[in-house]
A and B are shown apart, each in its own frame.
Chain A
Amino acid sequence: MRDVATTPAAPREISTARVTVITPAPRWPHFDLRELWHFRELLGTLVWRDVSVRYKQTSIGIAWALLQPLLMTIVFTLVFGKFANFNSKGVPYPIFSYSANLAWFYFASAVTLSSVSLVSNRALVTKVYFPRVLLPLASVSVPLVDLFFASSILVGMWFWFGVWPNAAILLAPAFLALALVTALGVGLFLSAVSVRYRDVPYAFPFLLSSWMFVSGVIQPIREFPEYAQWVLAFNPMTAVIDGFQWAVIGTAPPDFAKTMVSVGSTAIFFVVGLWFFRRSEPRFADTI
């Protein structure tokens, strides 16, 4: 919406000097960061709403955030660690699996929540104006809270298994940011598609479980042949999982070149998702 500009006010007369020009949606959407900044408080409120509802609605509350990755880790440990005896980067399989599951569960929830964020906030979309990007953006932030609580188990595992992170732990947020931006790109795209096609969300579980198998959650990507590793580098989650494990359980550092491929791939996910979203945005309220 190129021409829907919110011109900042002259000092003092902030509200009355604001001029909004409403015109038809332009063919090529652009992105208004200043407007997004103006609505930053609403973003905070949306995140807060989703977090408090999430922890109010489930009777076991926080425990749910811990149980999901924990149960998955137990199953993986039994099936892949014990019976299939998969390689686990030289650390005990449970801590390998749990650290991967932490990042993966964050990503999977972020994609799922953001993909339905428009449809599930129909009342807001049809009744008030705000940059719609806020909805998927809030949705990818919400599961960070789950991640925070679930990390406590990882801390326990450090002590239990005697596996300690090194200075690379400072880079953990960077890898999570990579997961966030990827999830946002996917979420932007899928949320806009879901407004138009209501059967699309049914495909998400399938999409995500397939994605998990090629992200190095169950066994390290390094087990694959070199050419496959290069192909898989286009999946940003391979870099996220590999890098996050390096950061939080001190496994070998990820390959720099492949990580850069993933970063580039994330940028493409994000730009395409955002472009598609902005392009569909003018019709959301009419279609949803």
Chain B
Amino acid sequence: MASAITVEGLSKRYRIGELQSAYGTLRDSLATSVRRMARREHKPHYEEIWALRDVSFHVQEGEVLGFVGRNGAGKSTLLKILTRITTPTEGRATIRGHVGSLLEVGTGFHPELTGRENVFLNGSVLGMKRREIAGKFDEIVEFAGVEQFIDTPVKRYSSGMSVRLAFAVAAHLEPDILLVDEVLAVGDAEFQRRCLGRMEDLSQSGRTVVFVSHQMQAVSQLCDRAAQLDKGKIVNEGPAGEVVARYLQSVGGAGSERFWTLEDAPGDELVRLRSVRVVLEDGELADAVDVRRPVGIEVGFTVLSDLVIPVFPKIKVLDRQGDVAFNAMDTSERWHEPANPGEYVSTAWIPGNLLNEGLVTVDVGICSFGGVKLHPHAGMRDAVSFHVQDPGKGDSARGDFRGQWRGVVRPLLEWTTKER
């Protein structure tokens, strides 16, 4: 397939200060120059930063590429260059096809104009032909759900209404290449679902999409491939799920694997924690886990001396907010007696269709019963983490719904229905 976007060595340099506001007043500038001339100073030395540095990538026709990264990593600058709002300092980008962008919904909306007038204004600002807008007008208005108010000035709209109308216009663009920046942050869950659906439609009809977002869930769901930007450079590129998982780790996840030597292993004189791994059914290490599949937390530990009381492995599973999803310990007969010295590996299997999507962190401990509390002999907070993803095939608890699905857990329940 042909490449829709080819980016080679793209760089963008800003002078410090320029990012906030480079404009000043002529009066100040003149005053400074006069002062400088009087003191025979040279031109001021500007500090420079590279918002993008030597970025290269390809996007195939029909591919959906996501960009992740912290604020200031260069994602927005990249999109601004690709949409030609600003020019690069170095490098080159070649774009094949008509580009549509959703850098911010509602660009060019004018409060004094009616909804109808704004649809035409906004559509034409986004590069649609008037004929095209007229043809899709009814569809747009229906999508936004503002039929009754279409001849009312937009200044009388609620903010939700104008955002919906703005997105509806943008959603009906039919470019060959769509550049999207954080549009999913607007609107209620139902509206977000429609937006995601619309983007999916576009990508399924062979449109190329470049998508920048902070919503990792949306990136891993919508994108084929993703790239992580950090300080203006691409630091990681690959299948969306993997890139997202690695990005989440880099911003606070613990990683899916931990090992300790006996000397520095956490624990007391009786038990030491030696390893913790996140594994799939086949024993493979996993950063990202399909919401429908079981995932194992493999805990390796060493019992150092003859024990007088029984110990057992235990995990505590926390969601992204740090709320405890559940605790679990190995209750099998084996641990009812004190264990012999030696190496042990226990795996706790978390069933599929239990955890909700997002980053999951696991605390691990080797504990004994100590009166009213569990006594941890060897333990590690935030021992490992992994990312639960819903590929959206319709057979998870969320069904065909694509929007946000709240809750710490996401069990797939059995429903029974009787007709009375």
Whether both chains belong to one complex is answered with yes
Binding site for B on A (CB under 8 A): 1, 4, 15-25, 41-42, 45, 49, 52-53, 56-57, 123-130, 193, 195-200, 282-283, 285-288
Q: How far is the CB of B291 from chain A (nearest CB, A)?
A: 36
Known A52-B113, A127-B107; contact A286-B86, beta-carbon cutoff 8 A:
yes
- Contact across chains for A57 and B112 when beta carbons are under 8 A apart: yes
Number of A-B contacts (CB under 8 A): 126
Bound-complex Cα distance A273 to B148 (A): 46
Which residue on chain A has the smallest CB distance to residue B83?
Answer: A129
Which residue on chain B has the smallest CB distance to residue A193?
Answer: B26
Cross-chain contact of A15 among B27, B101, B176 (Cβ < 8 A): B176
Q: How far is the CB of A253 from chain B (nearest CB, A)?
A: 42
Q: How far is the CB of A247 from chain B (nearest CB, A)?
A: 34
Q: Which residues of B are found within 8 Å of A17, using beta-carbon distances? A: 96
Chain B's interface size range is 35 or more
- Contact across chains for A124 and B107 when beta carbons are under 8 A apart: yes
Bound-complex Cα distance A287 to B87 (A): 12
- Contact across chains for A22 and B92 when beta carbons are under 8 A apart: yes
Q: How far is the CB of A124 from chain B (nearest CB, A)?
A: 5
- Contact across chains for A49 and B121 when beta carbons are under 8 A apart: yes
Is B120 in the interface zone, CB < 8 Å from A?
yes
- Contact across chains for B88 and A24 when beta carbons are under 8 A apart: yes
Q: Which residues of A are found within 8 Å of B14, using beta-carbon distances? A: 286
Q: How far is the CB of A248 from chain B (nearest CB, A)?
A: 33
Q: How far is the CB of B45 from chain A (nearest CB, A)?
A: 19
Known A24-B89, A127-B103, A286-B18; contact A53-B110, beta-carbon cutoff 8 A:
yes
Q: Which residues of A are found within 8 Å of B85, using beta-carbon distances? A: 125-129, 285
Q: How far is the CB of A29 from chain B (nearest CB, A)?
A: 11
Interface-side segment among B125-133, B235-243, B357-365: B125-133
Bound-complex Cα distance A193 to B80 (A): 23
Q: How far is the CB of A272 from chain B (nearest CB, A)?
A: 18
Known A21-B92, A22-B84, A49-B113; contact A198-B24, beta-carbon cutoff 8 A:
yes
Q: Which residues of B are found within 8 Å of A21, using beta-carbon distances? A: 92-95
Which residue on chain A has the smallest CB distance to residue B130?
Answer: A41
Bound-complex Cα distance A129 to B130 (A): 18
- Contact across chains for A197 and B110 when beta carbons are under 8 A apart: no
Q: How far is the CB of B107 from chain A (nearest CB, A)?
A: 4
Q: How far is the CB of B276 from chain A (nearest CB, A)?
A: 47
Bound-complex Cα distance A128 to B125 (A): 7
Q: Which residues of B are found within 8 Å of A287, using beta-carbon distances? A: 18, 21-23
Q: Which residues of B are found within 8 Å of A42, using beta-carbon distances? A: 124-125, 127
Cross-chain contact of B107 among A4, A41, A57, A123 (Cβ < 8 A): A123
Is B99 in the interface zone, CB < 8 Å from A?
yes
Contact pattern, B 161-199, Cβ under 8 Å of A = 1, otherwise 0: 000000000000001100000000000000000000000
- Contact across chains for A53 and B113 when beta carbons are under 8 A apart: yes
- Contact across chains for A197 and B87 when beta carbons are under 8 A apart: no
Q: How far is the CB of B67 from chain A (nearest CB, A)?
A: 17
Known A18-B98, A197-B24, A197-B25; contact A285-B125, beta-carbon cutoff 8 A:
no
Q: Which residues of B are found within 8 Å of A130, using beta-carbon distances? A: 125
Q: Which residues of B are found within 8 Å of A124, using beta-carbon distances? A: 107-108, 125
Bound-complex Cα distance A24 to B25 (A): 27
Bound-complex Cα distance A41 to B124 (A): 8
Q: How far is the CB of B170 from chain A (nearest CB, A)?
A: 11
- Contact across chains for A18 and B97 when beta carbons are under 8 A apart: yes
Bound-complex Cα distance A199 to B112 (A): 27
